[in-house]
Amino acid sequence: MAEASQEAKDRSREEDVEMLTAVRNGDATAYRGLVEKYQQRVYSMVYGVLRNREDARDVTQDAFVKAYNHLDSFRLESSFYTWLYRIAMNLAIDVTRKRKRRKTTEFDETIANRDETGDISDMHRADSPSKELERKRLYAAIMDAISKLPEDQQQVILLRELEGLSYREISEIMEIPEGTVMSRLFYARKKLQKLLAHTR
């Protein structure tokens, strides 16, 4: 099973190389394949950081554009998606830092969430104790707790839990040793466990 997974990864990487080679040879439309292949995954990860669909969409677009504009500096023997993730993660972190500087109140520290249009709505309704509401409550509590983590711990927890990336892949994205990935993940989870103890 591990071998099959590795084979799939190898094939995926070969596909990326083909598309990237075509782009470098002048066929810009070949980049579309890469966009469509990774857009959902990048978006989900960025959403985990920003928790706003519009912002996540914008950052996702910006990440792909930036990657395209810097393709000359990308080595084909490297992994495109880890490189792309690094770009996207850094852009998302930039947005969160700007938000903090603006001291925006978009993300209420209390139990709040955004609805489908991206607007904040108070979903803490005592008169609707459905399972869906409970799930949303827990999710909001988790995201609130994650926001309290240091940036480096936020990154590793999102890359691991949302994308299922290995320690090696996370270490490549964040440019830190694998052992540091392991320790940061542990301390991030431990802190989340502590912060969420009262919600369970």
CB closer to other proteins, 68 vs 101: 68
For binding to other proteins (CB under 8 A), which residues are involved?
Answer: 28-29, 31-32, 35-36, 39-40, 43-44, 47-48, 51, 53, 56-57, 60-61, 64-65, 68-69, 113-114, 116, 135-136, 138-140, 142-143, 146, 157, 160-162, 166-167, 177-183, 185-187, 189-190, 192-193, 196
Query: How far apart are CB 40 and other proteins at their closest, in Å?
Result: 5
| Residue 143 beta carbon to other proteins: minimum distance, rounded to whole angstroms | 7
Among 130, 141, 153, which residue's Cα sits nearest to residue 51?
Answer: 141
Q: Residue 18, Cβ neighbours under 10 Å: how many? A: 12
Nearer residue to other proteins within complex by CB, 22 or 90: 22
Distance between first and last Cα of the chain:
35
Shortest distance, position 31 Cβ to other proteins, whole Å = 7
